[in-house]
Amino acid sequence: MTTNEAWSTVRTGTFGERVAALVGLLLALLLLRLPFRCTVRAVRWARMVGHRPANHAQAEVLVFAVRHAGRWWPGRVACMETSLGAVLAAALLGRRLEWCLGARFAPPPVEYHAWASLPDAGPVGEYTAAGWHHHPALTI
């Protein structure tokens, strides 16, 4: 096993977190095919179900586990699916994450993005060399 494989195995979490990530991703893929108001209601419900806020390490593990599960999906799994899947997976584990939709305006071109966030710590699993320049337009 190479170092990268060992690192990705550690980052995908426990069996329960991986199952929650897979179920969260499947729910996200389903919800994103429904009208957006249904998706917003589901996220609000998930935030009510998640009684305890997730800490940064738990949230990061869920985001990476959803990304890992998304590698097996034959269709598109990008920021919208990953972030929504992580929020739903956290709710399945009794934790709470915020779902943010926003944009970056400078430098051009404009870039739209979705991410999972912790209320006090900011974006989870989003690393850029130049820093974080996205501004939330909707946070649920």
Residue 22 tokens read as: 């897979």
Q: Is the pLDDT of residue 97 over 80?
A: yes
- Mean pLDDT over 3-13 rounds to 53
- CA-nearest of 110, 113, 109, 108 to 137 is 113
pLDDT of residue 126: 77
b/e sequence 4-19, b meaning 16+ C-beta within 10 Å: eeeeeeeebbeeebbb
Residues 6+ apart with CB under 8 A from 108: none
The Cα–Cα gap between 83 and 105 comes to 21
In Å, what is the CA distance from 81 to each residue of 10, 52, 84, 108?
22, 23, 5, 24
What is the enclosing helix (H) or strand (E) of 137? strand 135-139
The backbone torsions φ and ψ at residue 72, rounded to the nearest 5 degrees and listed phi first, read -90, -10
Q: Is the pLDDT of residue 56 over 80?
A: yes
Q: What is the pTM of this model?
A: 0.86
Q: Is the pLDDT of residue 7 over 50?
A: no
